[in-house]
Amino acid sequence: MRMRLKAKGHTASPRTALDLLARIQRHRAKIGERTVNGLSVTTPQQMELFDTLNLPKPV
């Protein structure tokens, strides 16, 4: 991960990158018979890390 970050010129350390990405959460709520799924709102900083690390973006 460190090599990918440095190769793309990103300033975040691997620890910082993991901390930022760990904030993304998948939510599931059941209301009566209905189940609602969702993903927490991603920040531009997190989306930049997905691009930098060549990872698929969460949907």
For residue range 7-57, list pLDDT tens digits in order: 999 999 999 999 999 999 999 999 999 999 999 999 999 999 999 999 999
Does 57 map to a domain?
Answer: no
52: tokens are 């930098």
Both tokens of residue 58? 């969460």
Rounded to an integer, what distance in angstroms lies between the CA atom of residue 5 and that of residue 13? 8
Tally of structural domains, the chain: 1
Inter-residue long-range contacts of 54-59, CB under 8 Å, 24+ positions, other chains counted:
54/4, 58/24
Residues 14 and 5: beta-carbon distance below 8 Å: yes
Q: What is the DSSP string of 35-48?
A: EEEEEPPPPHHHHH
Structural domain for 47, as ranges = 2-52
Whole-prediction pTM value?
0.80
Residue 37 lies in a domain: yes
Cα 43 from Cα 39, distance rounded (Å) = 12
Residue 58 domain flag: no
Query: Is 12 a member of any domain?
Result: yes
**59 falls within a domain:** no
Is 46 part of a structural domain of the chain? yes
